[in-house]
Structure 1
Amino acid sequence: MPSRSTPRWRRRVLWTSGALVFLVGGVALAFVLSPRPGALAVRWVFERDAAEVTSAMQKHAPAGVDSIKDQQYRDGDSDAYLDVYFPESTSVALPTVIWTHGGAWISGSKSNYATYYELLASRGYTVVALDYSLGPERHYPTAVQQLDAAHAFVLANAERLHVDPSRIFLAGDSAGAQLSSQMAILVTDEDYAARLGITPALSPEQVRGVVLNCGIYDLAGVAGGSGIVGWGVDRSLWAYTGHREFLDSTAADQMSTLNYVTEAFPPTYLSGGNGDPLTDGQSKPLADKLGGLGVAVDTLFYPDDHQPVLGHEYQFDLDNPDGMTAFERTVDFLDRYSR
């Protein structure tokens, strides 16, 4: 500690240095003790990127699409809202795509990629975009319970929302793909539903198919990765599950849908970019597992040397011909199974 005989300028330097050391140490300790600082950093990056992609999409917005927005699907839940898109002036019930957004379970919004939902609606579909609670503010299984409540709301308001209850598709991207795969198992496997303590709103007969882009289906395959990406994944899953050692949690077990799919799983469209490590590590293994069970699977994957290299969530880059190809393949899948 500086004494009174120490020159004033030197005392200020020493006090400032000590304060900085204390501050840096406190920040470092916060990152060790809680997932919140790291999760919020990851959230900031994801939300920035989503805003850029959403803005770039707007030039592709179709004419002739109406919407009903900000519908609260669960009473008293400030996170439980949805938006609905459908062809302008439609008066009939349409096959319906229920889309769950991505964002590493800690970021994202139903308004992200709105133009994509409008484009799907312009092709003759009702599209429901869902919000749900995020970590670290709320933990698993809150989002799963909310999604089931959203399904119940959609069915209860089917006429007003132009929804055909007999032709439902569950869809999602990234973490939303994981959640959509989980909801599909919940609907088609009574034992799994009992394990989660949920009586699903949808019946197996109502779900015509599942659309899964760039998802995670086996948490053991993404945990403990190297570099900043691995750190971000671990912080995100700690924040969402509420467990630092999340692989030992019930949440991680139930979220790893690769281990729970059965032959009753609905027909599935799966895609991922050749530059996305989740493609080889997650999407392709799920496609192989489903195919081996006899489930109808439609995949869109790319050779390792494909150019340009397609990263995570490539399907939302509509300025890239590969993004438009993925969109058309998605519509083809929906058309095939909505007949």
Structure 2
Amino acid sequence: MTAHAHTDEPDGQNTDERKAARRPWHRTKVTVGVLAALVVAVVVVGSITPWPSAMLIRSVFTKGGDETAAEMDKHVPDTELTETLDVSYADGGADTTMDVFRPASASGPLPTIVWIHGGAWVSGSKENVDPYMRILAAEGYTTIAVNYTIGPEGVYPLAVHQLNDALGYIDEHAEELGVDPAQIVLAGDSAGAQLASQMATLVTSEDYAEILDITPKIESDQVVATVLNCGVYDLAALAALDGIIGWGLKTSMWAYSGTRTWAEDSTGATMSTVDWVTADFPTTYISGGNGDGLTWLQSIPMAQRLDELGVDVTTLFWPAPHKPALPHEYQFHLDMPDAQTALQKTIDFLDAHTTR
């Protein structure tokens, strides 16, 4: 007769399984090791290319942009509009398209707001600002939301060339778009405000156009005003930022410029419109929230510089202790009374500097 040893192990459990069950720490060590390896991989890859970090930033901004657009949708008036979507202004596919809005009752050309969307140069699309364009169009304007190639898929100054093409297309097709080519307002938010300021500088400063080696496709007297919300105009000040905000903006600029040395080469220099604007810069509305660090670092110094040059400047800045603290791009959060104030002041500015 063969003797069988007694065991408490469940039937069918093999030796390896029994050993693993008695040593849960082994699985923990493996998991920690895998996570550590992933972290190291991300750090190593992130030191070579901005792509992983830029995609992370894009995902965060895309979510926020979609939510903000949905919030604005609730405030679009019932005014009947004519909408022409996805108009191709160049041969770059979806990157070179624009959406055009105007009152359905309009029978002739209207003053035109060309709006450049934000998104830290690595995210965003015209659809993010379409609700705001509908709101402004209902006030009696033709409004155009423009796409451009964001980074890292396209690098600077590609977007500037594309936006110059867009302005040329708008000018050439003014009649069919319902545009008054003698009354163009260049506008933008965040990175789009930087680009709007750059386009306005391009068309009003021969020296700047020469240093960029870009021939403007519209004339300076066609641009009657600019609207700049929460923008960036001084890249040296941007490069000095620390913390998570500094990391995000520096990473975005690496992706957009295609180089880590953007702060010390021609990219940062030519994007810093505060250093290039002249007395011929268009009359400007500029605003930022008191809870947005870029207001103090970028928008207020830009407004001061334009004022020094004798440019007609309308500002909407809030006292530092204002409550609630107004965040970056607060102007689009139209559920907030202060955003409604900003919208009305924007409309008043547009009405004061255009004729219909």
TM over 0.5: yes
Match of 1:295 among 295, 308, 311: 311
Contact 2:225 2:284 in 1 (8 A): yes
Which digits, 9 at most, give the CA deviation of each residue in 1:34-59, with x for residues without a partner?
11111111111111111111111111
Equivalent position SS for 1:139? coil
Q: How does 1:143-222 map to 2 (within 5 A)?
A: 143-222=159-238
Contact 1:70 1:82 in 2 (8 A): yes
1:246 paired residue number: 262
Structure 1 residues 272 and 13: CA distance shift in structure 2, 3 A = closer
CA distance in 2, matches of 1:318, 1:18: 47
Match of residue 67, structure 2, among 39, 52, 69:
52
Stretches of structure 1 that go unaligned for 5 or more consecutive residues are none
Alignment of 1:110 onto 2:126: yes
Greater radius of gyration (CA): 2
Match of 2:52 in 1: 37
CA contact (8 A) 2:290 2:320 kept: yes
Count of matched residue pairs: 334
The residue number in structure 1 matching 2:37 is: 22
In structure 2, distance between residues paired with 1:96 and 1:135: 27
SS of the residue corresponding to residue 196 of structure 2 reads helix
Alpha-carbon displacement from aligned partner over 1:8-28 (angstroms, at most 9, x marks no partner): 747876665544433332122
- Could you tell me which amino acid in structure 1 is paired with residue 65 of structure 2? A
> C-alpha distance in 2, partners of 1:103/1:15?
39
Query: Distance between the aligned counterparts of 1:171 and 1:287, measured in 2?
Result: 15
One-letter identity of the residue aligned with 1:29: V
Query: Separation in 2 of the partners of 1:21 and 1:62?
Result: 53
AA at the equivalent of 1:164: D
Aligned twin of 2:330: 314
Equivalent AA in structure 2 for residue 28 of structure 1? V
Alignment match of 1:132 (pick from 136, 148, 151)? 148
Gaps of 5+ in 2: 1-15
Does residue 1:89 correspond to 2:105, yes or no? yes
Residue pair 1:80, 1:131 contacting (<8 A) in 2 also: yes
Cα contact 2:200–2:226 (8 A) shared by 1: yes
CA distance in 2, matches of 1:306, 1:258: 27
Query: What is the CA-CA distance between 1:306 and the residue it aligns to?
Result: 1.1
**What SS is found at the alignment partner of 2:135?**
helix
Q: Tell me if the contact between 2:94 and 2:147 (Cα under 8 Å) persists in the aligned partners.
A: no
Sequence identity (%): 49
Root mean square deviation of aligned Cα: 1.7
Q: Distance in 2 between matches of 1:16 and 1:220?
A: 42
Do the aligned residues in 1 keep the contact of 2:50 with 2:254 (CA within 8 Å)? Answer: yes
Tell me the alpha carbon deviations over residues 132-163 of structure 1, each in whole angstroms, 9 at most, x when there is no partner: 00111110000000000000111111111100
Give distance in 2, aligned partners of 1:224 and 1:30. 24
Work out the CA distance in 2 between the residues paired with 1:277 and 1:238. Answer: 20
Q: Which moved more, 1:282-291 or 1:22-31?
A: 22-31
Asked whether 1:62 is paired with 2:77, we answer yes
